[in-house]
Amino acid sequence: MIKSLNMQDLRQKLSGAIDNRVRIITAGMSVDEIRAVLRGDPPTERPNPRYKVHTTSFIFHIRPRYYEAGSTVFTHTFRLGFFTSFFFFLELFTGLILMIYYTPSPERAYTSILNLISAVPFGQLLRDLHRLGAEGMVIFTALHMLRTFLTGSYKKDRTFTWLTGVVLLGITMFLSFSGYLLPWDQLAYWAVTVGTSMAEAAPLVGNQLNLLLRGAPDIAADGLLRFYLIHVVLLPLAAVLVISIHYYKVSREHGISLPASIDDGDASPEVTRAAKQRIDFIPDLLTHEVFLVSVGLLILILSVTVFGYHAPLESVANPQSTPLDTEAPWYFWWLQGMLKLGDKTLMGIIIPTIIVLLLVGVPYIDRNPYRSLYRRPFAVGIGIFSVLALVVLSYMGTPQYGIETDAATRIVQDLAPEEGTGPLHTVPFDQLQPGVYVVNESPTQGLCPGLDFGCPELEKAFNLYSQWINTAVEQGKLPDVEAVLVIDAWQKDLVKVTPRIVWSDAGQRKTYEKNVYLHRERGSE
Amino acid sequence: MSRVSIQIFLGSLMILATTLVMVFYGLNEEQRMEDTRKAVQARSIEEGAALFEQQCSRCHGTQGTGIPGLCPPLNDRYFFDQRLTDIGWSSTLEDYIVSTASSGRLTSTRPETYPGQGIPAMPSFSDQFGGPLRVDQIRNIAAFILNWESTAELVEVPSAPSGPPVGADISKELPAGDPANGEALTLSLGCQACHVTTPTGPAWPPTADQPGIGERAATRIDQADYTGNAVNPEQYLFESIVQPNAYLVSGYAEGLMPGNYADTLTDQDMADLIAYLLTVK
């Protein structure tokens, strides 16, 4: 029995079996082949087993077998499209986990977010990643489109790909926007109220459209459910479909464009030949993509841990109280800016529609066959002008621009914003010493003689308050002003801070005051 | 080294770094969740404080010490230690507060000492029963009230007036008043529950922009917008206490002050109060 067992025979049989198993798993590559790939050696067999993977594996069959060397130059693509899809998969992954902890109803939504960040391990990390990924996806989609425009990559064979790209830009923005409402905080509620009120301006169907979107004249349970379903079902499905079409065109039909100099025929024959050399997907491109993913993951994780990016969460949505500084998400600021310029229907519906039509029509309007920046000054000029216009309009869309707030209200809002953190919120609790601090009477230093180390942070906030008051007085806004900051010890670990401004207006004394309650453990440092 | 192996090397380093960052982040996760829970509770108390001021302080006092003869104190040792036992409530105090604030009180449980506003003794505050507040807001108010638990002192139930009530006729002849006794009354009657605008004391001493109540009483009756019937400072103070809506100082709403002092103060109490307030110039 023992005699008949030949060790060499056994080893051969075993390695044969392992090799077979590995070939099945890797869809065609043997153990030796994987080694060769990792070492950077040429293929071990013929026909090339690395190409076989592309026919036997589903995942690899939708990827190209090779790119042309010229199209992989970093400064040509900046990997913008790759990172856009990276963010999309990140959103799918984090989003699916977040769905476990979320309930789309006004009574439960906000509580479920609080529960997520205070009772679920890594819950806040997931939420921060999901939010950061959403911002990243919008930014990278826009940059990807800008790059495609500047390199003229939408021309000739790529016109339809450009069209799907425009659709994807829209889907991305609405994906992000529909997710905005879900936390059901003040930020969400009012941003979406402002956003959906745009639909109201549509001619003829405006009211119906608004009603369809909100589920009622005002956003409530029905509206939240609709936005939730749009966010987790409708738009992701649409995105998967359109991304598939977009990507299929790129990988199977026309590939990533080559740098303009080669397409335009400006480069020397050697350069052109080098640019058309094939770079195989396995191992070069695959390794590069995994490398990019690890870069992306590291940057994301560092952003939400070490650099402290956190998804914002304001107080629970309150339809009865409109916050002073209501604003749309930043990628819709340009639209808010336009709305300040004129009629709601013209600026909110007609011009945006024209912009979208122009974007769709770019490849058909621009008949210039050349792709180089220098040979299409007109198109490039329009592109740069559009970006500048977007930036200016976005600035005009912020609440700081063009909305006059009463001076006293503005000062108190700047000192202690209704949402978020102001100078008053950053004062450590122990420095909030009860007392009446009168602007231009109380000392600017040594406000709290009772404290061994004084109260520098309180002094800073109080001096800022005094400074704003005095600036307003210089501008003639608050005649005969008396401004105080009153701090009361209100409860255990709770103080009530009341900035009160009294001034003369048309012969009458007017008062503006606000009560701000600050708890020791509110955690805004 | 080829490009592939450099990328494999750097990529592996970065995945290792990512993992390490995640591990360190995870080590602090328990602490972070605890801090977040505390911050959530703190925000809840802050929000509750603002809501209490808007919705509850008119009857229960800004500091929750109640108004004698009207509404019970909440910032009260009895409320935290004994109340649930006395009424046979089997669940938590938070549930008791949320339940009472949500549905209100048709009739008072202590009609002798705290009759409330009549029927209903306390209105319902939940938007499910026609009130103004959502359930999460009522929970915030409960969090604010419960934050008094560690510091609450026993609030004495004031004794019934020792003589016949003074009535609402401000021209009535009053006996001579004792300012010291008047000052004691402002404390025992709980005036300071509402009349507090400075952190250091009650509302009647002089402040930065106006004189004390004694001086104000003398000048108010001569003002053009004065709508009451008083002809001298004594009557002005008398009127302000027993008919609080006869003249409203601009900026204050009607019905803020309880209207039952005509029935709960004696002639001597009123005289003492007026005597005390007139000394505060």
Question: Å from A243 to nearest chain B CA?
Answer: 27
Which residue of B25, B38, B144 is in closest CB contact with A305?
Answer: B25
Average pLDDT over residues A117-131: 95
Write out chain A residues lying below 8 Å of B5, CB-based.
38-40
Does residue A404 belong to any structural domain of this protein?
A: no
Closest to A76 in 3D by CA, of A268, A296, A275: A275
What does the pLDDT read at residue B98? 96
Question: Contact at 8 Å (CB) between A77 and A71?
Answer: yes
Cβ of B150 within 8 Å of Cβ of A492? The answer is yes
Distance of alpha carbon A138 from the chain centroid:
5
Residues A164, A245: Cα–Cα separation, whole Å: 7
**The predicted structure's pLDDT at residue A114:** 95
The answer to whether A161 touches A360, Cβ cutoff 8 Å, is: no
Its sign, for the CA torsion B274, B277, B278, B279, is: positive
What pLDDT score was predicted for residue A77? 92
Q: What is the pLDDT of residue A525?
A: 47
Q: Given this model, what pLDDT does residue A278 score?
A: 92
**Is A83 found in the same domain as A31?**
no
Q: Is A301 an 8 Å CB contact of chain B?
A: yes
The reply to whether A346 falls in a domain is: no
Say yes or no: A520 contacts chain B, CB-CB below 8 A. Answer: yes
Please indicate, yes or no, whether residues A44 and A88 belong to a single structural domain of this protein: no
Collect all residues of chain B within an 8 Å Cβ-Cβ radius of residue A492: 147-148, 150-151
Tokens of A296: 């992306």
- Is A22 in the same domain as A147? no
Strand intervals (E) in A347-389? none
Name which of B1, B8, B44 to mutate to probe chain A: the one with the most chain A Cβ atoms within 10 A of its Cβ.
Answer: B8
A97-106, B209-218, B242-251, range with greatest mean pLDDT: A97-106
Domain boundary among A301, A325, A349: A325
- A144-153, A411-420, B200-209: range with lowest mean pLDDT: B200-209
pLDDT (average), residues A362-367: 91
Residue B200 has pLDDT above 50, yes or no: no
Banded pLDDT at A3 (limits 50, 70, 90) = low
The average pLDDT across A492-507 equals: 88
Residue A295 has what pLDDT?
97
> Which CA distances in Å does A493 have to A323, A454, B72, B140?
27, 19, 24, 16
Q: Cβ–Cβ of A40/B2 closer than 8 Å?
A: yes
Mean pLDDT (whole number) for B231-245: 86
Phi–psi pair at A469, nearest 5 degrees: -60, -50
**Burial (CB count <10 Å: 0-12, 13-18, 19+), residue A145:** buried
Is A255 within the bounds of a domain? yes
Q: What percent of chain A has pLDDT over 70?
A: 99
Average pLDDT over residues A470-498: 89
pLDDT higher than 80, residue B256 = no
Q: What is the pLDDT of residues B18-36, one digit of tens each?
A: 999 999 999 999 999 999 9
Q: How is residue B132 written in tokens?
A: 């103004």
pLDDT score of B199 more than 50: no
User: Contacts of residue B7 in chain A, CB cutoff 8 Å?
Assistant: 287-288, 290-291
Q: What is the per-residue DSSP string for B100-153?
A: HHHH-BSS-S-TTT--TTSSSSB---BGGGT-SB-HHHHHHHHHHHHTTTTT-B
Q: Which residues in chain B are contacts of A438 at CB distance < 8 A? A: 208
Residue A243 in domain: yes
- Inter-chain contact A496–B49, Cβ cutoff 8 Å? yes
- Alpha helix (H) ranges present in A151-202? 159-180, 186-200
A489 contact residues in B (CB cutoff 8 A): 199
Distance of CA B177 to the CA centre of its chain: 30
What is the share, in percent, of chain A residues with pLDDT greater than 90?
53
**Is residue B266's pLDDT more than 50?**
yes
**Which of these three, A266, A290, A325, is where a domain ends?**
A325
Residue A129 maps to which CATH number? 1.20.810.10
Contacts of B41 in chain A (CB under 8 A): 521
Question: Can you name the residues that pair with A316 across neighbouring β-strands?
Answer: A185
Query: Measured between CA atoms, how close is A419 to chain B, in angstroms?
Result: 12
Are A29 and A96 within one domain? no
Beta carbons of B46 and A486 less than 8 Å apart: no
> Is there a domain that residue A421 lies in?
yes
Specify if A352 maps to a domain: no
A44 with A172, same domain?
A: no
Choose one of A305, A325, A345: the last residue of a domain. Answer: A325
CB proximity A486 to B under 8 Å: yes
Instruction: Write the CB contacts of B74 (distance below 8 Å, at least 6 apart in sequence).
Output: B60, B64, B66, B145, B148
**Do A302 and A187 lie in a common domain?**
yes
Query: Alpha helices of B189-266 — where are they, by DSSP H?
Result: 213-220, 233-242, 261-264
CA-based nearest residue in chain A for residue B63: A490
Instruction: Based on the fold, state whether residues A113 and A238 are members of the same structural domain.
Output: yes
pLDDT tens figures, A431-465: 998 888 888 888 888 888 888 888 889 999 999 99
Provide the residue range defining the domain that includes A437. Answer: 410-519
Helices (H), chain B: 3-27, 29-51, 57-60, 77-81, 83-87, 93-103, 135-146, 179-188, 213-220, 233-242, 261-264, 267-279
Of the candidates B138, B122, B127, the residue with the CA atom closest to the CA atom of residue B66? B122
- Looking at CA atoms only, how far is residue A435 from chain B in angstroms? 6
Give tens-digit pLDDT for A367-414. 888 999 989 999 999 999 999 999 999 999 887 777 778 888 899 999
Return d(Cα B256, Cα B248) in angstroms, integer: 10
Q: Mean pLDDT score of chain A, rounded to an integer?
A: 90
* Centroid of chain to Cα B275: 27
Query: What is the tens place of the pLDDT at every residue in A162-212?
Result: 999 999 999 999 999 999 999 999 999 998 888 888 888 888 888 888 899
A54: Cα within 13 Å, side-chain hemisphere: 16
| CA distances for A77 relative to A111, A133, A257, A293, B182, angstroms | 43, 20, 9, 16, 84
3-state secondary structure of A487: strand
Closest residue by Cα to residue B276 from B190, B205, B218: B205
CB contact under 8 Å between B39 and A110, yes or no, is no
Question: B17 contacts in A (CB within 8 Å)?
Answer: 298
Looking at the fold, whether A244 and A276 belong to one and the same domain comes out as yes
Phi-psi region of A161 (alpha: psi -120 to 50; beta: other; left: phi over 0): alpha
pLDDT at B148: 94
- Residues A492/B144, Cβ–Cβ less than 8 Å: no
A214 and A149 assigned to the same domain: yes
Q: Kindly state the tokens that stand for A407.
A: 């001076």
Which of B2, B24, B38 lies at the smallest CB-CB distance from A521? B38
Mean confidence (pLDDT) of chain B: 85
Mean pLDDT of A109-129: 95
In a domain, A355, yes or no: no
| A191 in the same domain as A83 | yes
Assign A202 to helix, strand or coil. coil
Phi, psi of B147 (to 5 degrees): -70, -10
Sorting pLDDT into bands at 50, 70 and 90, what band is B155? confident
Q: What whole-number percentage of chain B has pLDDT above 70?
A: 92
Interface membership of A42 toward B (CB under 8 Å)? no
Confidence of residue B202 (pLDDT cuts 50, 70, 90): low
From the CB of residue A388, how many other CB atoms can be counted at a distance below 10 Å? 10
> What tokens appear for A401 in the block?
């621009």
A469-488 average pLDDT score: 88
In a domain, A191, yes or no: yes
Q: Decide if pLDDT at B151 tops 50.
A: yes
A159 and A296 inside one domain: yes
Number of domains in chain A: 3
According to the model, what pLDDT value does residue B193 have? 67
Q: Domains (ranges, CATH) in chain B?
A: 30-146 (1.10.760.10), 179-279 (1.10.760.10)
Tell me how crowded residue A514 is: count the other CB atoms within 10 A of its CB: 17
Work out the end-to-end distance of chain A between its first and last CA atoms, rounded to an integer number of angstroms.
78
Assembly ipTM: 0.88
Measured CA to CA, the distance from residue A185 to residue A196 in angstroms comes to 16
Examine the domain organization and report whether A114 and A35 are in the same domain: no
pLDDT at B160 over 70: no
Strand bridging mode A278-280 / A435-438: unpaired
Q: What integer is the mean pLDDT of A260-269?
A: 87
Residues making up chain A, counted from first to last? 525
**pLDDT bracket for residue B137 (50, 70, 90):** very high
